[in-house]
């Protein structure tokens, strides 16, 4: 029977930011690490409930260190993954509350490193301290941006990937990169490379706000020989999830692309909350995993075969009261989710088995070609000749006779070879050619063996082994961790028992309480009644808060829906006015809805590729009909030479004008006549172009009549500086 266990939920409160301190914000969150309790002041209450409290598996205050958070949250999950379990650690909360800091942190200084890099150190450390087991470690890194899955470790990290699902494998991402790693340095390099490709942006609440959900996955396969001398393989998968934070447009002031990102982030987180509510409710017949790609990716982590830890990050400032309460409510519900974790033994798709089969195949091939066997260190060992010792005299005599006979035959052959002192020239060439071929064959064989040896060494290096010297240290750490976890479990059990005992004692005291007078009894029961009334008011206040919160969520979703409709109407308007109807119809015929991708995709059809026309007889390239006709008439050099010519019909544009066939009115005709007639003044200027320039100091001496009616005079010249009041151009004249 499978052992069920609840999702472990921890809460971490960040300190007030410098901006919140400057704005005079008040801290309303208190953390009680002893009782593992979060206390938040009810700044929106009606006085019935001054504060609210939530109890979790672990809580961290504003002064908590990264190492403390890792050891109390992620370390037990990582140890379970090394034993073959699936594990998930994900950070949840409002934007700007420190989720990325908790998961990744900073490399410098080292104590600021988050859960992910500390996990790398611990995994390699465990492998180094386990000498009798082979390990294979692979990593992948993806992001979910605007409901699109992207591979952050791929050179083409903007390519959209597809989600698929198989019964034996569950939900997976098709064509996702899975990199084999051998050290902490390689893991950190791939994390850094993927982080550089992740979508981040600036908002009013966070300068480097994550605009996508990211999942860094480590797959750890181990192989060892059991007591039955059979090989046993285990496979564990660890998901390190950094969710984008929920946000309100009124606070982040996101517009354009940032606003669209916020809509998709909030929708996926709302679906995650609905999944948590459905799992906890118990009455829901349907769990809405398929409503979002985020919940599909986390399907196994919520109610499936996985050990899960949820790190809820909250802000302590008073103006984040609604968001903090929402996070605490979701975290409190998530504690009730039950998973069914089990060890993944002998999986069918284990890559370590393929690696071992390739290694054994290469060893056998090398041994066969080298005429030896592969030793335990991977080196080729030649088979040595055996010397037979014989003690029987008769056998020794026979062997000696046989040896003498072979010696005589050999001497006879040598004599025959000496008689044939020289060989023919052709025979020498053939022997030399055979010798060269043999040398070439040996060289190729040696090169092939070297390549196979190199490939074998690369495969063996990818399989990690432990060190005997570190085995004892690793065992001590494992025992210490086991003892600490048992101690923590006993303390939690003792605390729960103490709380239950206190409740039972209180109830028993109430039942056994005796009163000295009727008045005392009335006062005591009145006090109890008032306490019950106060509790009812508190419950009503909580219910009212939840109703108001859901109403705000509903209004935000409605507003997001309106914005989406506005965008849809804009797209429809563009299609209606700018895309032809035939083209629109053709595109619609090619679309179909994919259940796997939960989206519209273009149909896969077998298109007939354009083929090059067959070449004409006796010609290298196809030729047109005109050239063929010219050749038939005897033209050896036609106008169109044999080329790949295609006939294309041009689409002439539609005419937008028409001819004017009516008689114009008198007024229009007069305007046309004036425009078409030559200007008299312009003609006069053209006639005077050949005359010399005259400079006149006093323009008043010019006679207007003489200018307009000049006499026939050979000394007629052009005036350059003649000025006429309100004239548009220089005036003509003659020199007196």
Radius of gyration of the chain (CA): 46
- What SS3 state is found at 371? coil
b (16+ CB within 10 A) / e for 77-89: bbbbbbebbbbbb
Q: Which residue has tokens 């004036």?
A: 674
Alpha carbon distance 164, 259 (integer Å): 29
- Is 201 labeled as ligand-binding? no
- Is 94 labeled as ligand-binding? yes
Q: Write the DSSP string, 441-481.
A: HHHHHHHHHHHHHHHHHHHHHHSB---HHHHHHHHHHHHHH
**Burial grade of 213 (CB within 10 A; 0-12, 13-18, 19 or more):** buried
b (16+ CB within 10 A) / e for 685-699: eeebeebeeeeeeee
- What SS3 state is found at 300? coil
Contact 55, 275 (CB under 8 A): no
Cα–Cα distance list, 490 to 11, 497, 670 (Å): 21, 10, 111
Cα–Cα distance list, 117 to 101, 108, 192 (Å): 12, 12, 11
- Is 170 labeled as ligand-binding? no
- Is 511 labeled as ligand-binding? no
Alpha carbon distance 334, 275 (integer Å): 10
Contact 15, 30 (CB under 8 A): no
- Is 295 labeled as ligand-binding? no
Alpha carbon distance 507, 499 (integer Å): 12
> HSE of 364 in the Cβ direction (CA atoms, 13 Å)?
6
CB atoms within 10 A of CB 184: 15
Contact 89, 77 (CB under 8 A): yes
CB atoms within 10 A of CB 12: 25
Pick from 727, 734, 687, 729: which is nearest to 709 by CA? Answer: 734
> HSE of 713 in the Cβ direction (CA atoms, 13 Å)?
15
- What SS3 state is found at 132? coil
Contact 245, 274 (CB under 8 A): no
- Is 97 labeled as ligand-binding? yes
- Is 430 labeled as ligand-binding? no
- Is 432 labeled as ligand-binding? no
- Alpha carbon dihedral 452, 455, 456, 462, in 10-degree steps, equals 180
Annotated binding site: 93-100
Annotated binding site for ATP: 93-100
């Amino acid at each position: 029977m499978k052992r069920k266990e609840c999702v472990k939920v921890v809460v971490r409160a960040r300190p007030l930011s410098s901006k919140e301190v400057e704005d005079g914000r008040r801290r309303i969150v208190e953390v009680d690490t002893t009782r593992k309790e979060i206390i938040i002041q009810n700044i929106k209450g009606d006085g019935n409930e001054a504060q609210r409290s939530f109890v979790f598996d672990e809580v961290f205050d504003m002064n908590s260190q990264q190492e403390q958070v890792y050891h109390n949250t992620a370390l037990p999950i990582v140890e379970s993954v090394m034993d073959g379990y699936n594990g998930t650690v994900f950070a949840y909360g409002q934007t700007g509350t420190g989720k990325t800091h908790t998961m990744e942190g900073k490399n410098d200084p080292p104590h600021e490193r988050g859960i992910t890099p500390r996990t790398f150190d611990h995994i390699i450390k465990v492998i180094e301290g386990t000498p009798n087991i082979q390990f294979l470690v692979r990593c992948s890194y993806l992001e979910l941006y605007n409901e699109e899955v992207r591979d952050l470790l791929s050179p083409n990290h903007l390519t959209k990937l597809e989600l698929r699902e198989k019964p034996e494998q569950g939900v997976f991402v098709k064509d996702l990169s899975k990199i084999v790693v051998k050290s902490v340095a390689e893991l950190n390099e791939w994390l850094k490379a993927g982080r550089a490709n992740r979508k981040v942006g600036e908002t009013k609440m966070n300068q480097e706000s994550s605009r996508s959900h990211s999942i860094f996955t480590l797959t750890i396969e181990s192989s060892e020989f059991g007591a039955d001398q059979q090989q046993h393989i285990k496979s564990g998968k660890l998901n390190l999830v950094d969710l984008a934070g929920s946000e309100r447009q009124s606070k982040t002031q996101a517009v354009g692309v940032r606003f669209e990102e916020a809509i998709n982030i909030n929708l996926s987180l709302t679906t995650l909350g609905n999944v948590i509510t459905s799992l906890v409710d118990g009455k829901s017949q349907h769990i809405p995993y398929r409503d979002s790609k985020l919940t599909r990716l986390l399907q196994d982590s919520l109610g499936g075969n996985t050990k899960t830890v949820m790190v809820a990050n909250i802000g302590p400032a008073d103006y984040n009261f609604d968001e903090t309460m929402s996070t605490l409510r979701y975290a409190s519900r998530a504690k009730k989710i039950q998973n069914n974790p089990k060890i993944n033994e002998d999986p069918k798709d284990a890559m370590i088995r393929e690696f071992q089969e390739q290694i054994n195949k290469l060893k056998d091939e090398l041994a066969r070609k080298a005429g030896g066997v592969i030793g335990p260190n991977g080196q080729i060992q030649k088979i040595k000749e055996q010397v037979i010792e014989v003690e029987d005299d008769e056998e020794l005599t026979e062997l000696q006779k046989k040896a003498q006979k072979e010696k005589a035959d050999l001497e006879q052959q040598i004599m025959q070879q000496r008689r044939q002192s020289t060989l023919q020239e052709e025979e020498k060439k053939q022997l030399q050619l055979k010798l060269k071929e043999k040398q070439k064959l040996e060289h190729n064989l040696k090169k092939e063996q070297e390549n196979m040896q190199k490939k074998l060494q690369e495969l063996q290096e990818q399989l990690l082994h432990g060190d005997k010297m570190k085995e004892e240290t690793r065992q001590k750490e494992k025992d210490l961790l086991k003892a600490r976890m048992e101690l923590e479990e006993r303390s939690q059990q003792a605390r729960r028992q103490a709380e239950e005992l206190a409740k039972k004692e209180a109830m028993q005291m109430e039942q056994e309480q005796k009163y000295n007078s009727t008045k005392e009894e009335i006062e005591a029961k009145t006090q109890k009644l008032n306490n019950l009334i106060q509790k009812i008011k508190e419950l009503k206040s909580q219910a009212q808060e939840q109703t108001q919160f859901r109403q705000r969520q509903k209004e935000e979703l409605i507003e997001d829906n309106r914005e989406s409709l506005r965008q849809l109407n804009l797209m429809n308007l563009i299609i209606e006015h700018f895309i032809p109807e035939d083209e629109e119809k053709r595109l619609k015929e090619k679309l179909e809805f994919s259940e796997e991708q939960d989206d519209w995709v273009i149909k896969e059809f077998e298109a007939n590729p354009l083929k090059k026309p067959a070449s004409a007889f006796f010609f290298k390239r196809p030729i047109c009909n005109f050239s063929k006709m010219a050749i038939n008439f005897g033209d050896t050099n036609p106008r169109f030479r044999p080329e790949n010519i295609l006939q294309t019909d041009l689409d002439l544009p539609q005419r937008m004008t028409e001819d004017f066939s009516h008689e114009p009115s008198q007024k229009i005709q007069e305007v046309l006549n004036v425009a078409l007639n030559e200007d008299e003044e312009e003609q006069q200027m053209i006639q005077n172009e050949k005359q010399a320039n005259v400079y006149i100091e006093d323009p008043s001496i010019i006679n207007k009549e003489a200018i307009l009616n000049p006499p026939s005079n050979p000394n007629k010249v052009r005036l350059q500086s003649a000025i006429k009041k309100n004239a548009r151009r220089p005036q003509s004249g003659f020199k007196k």
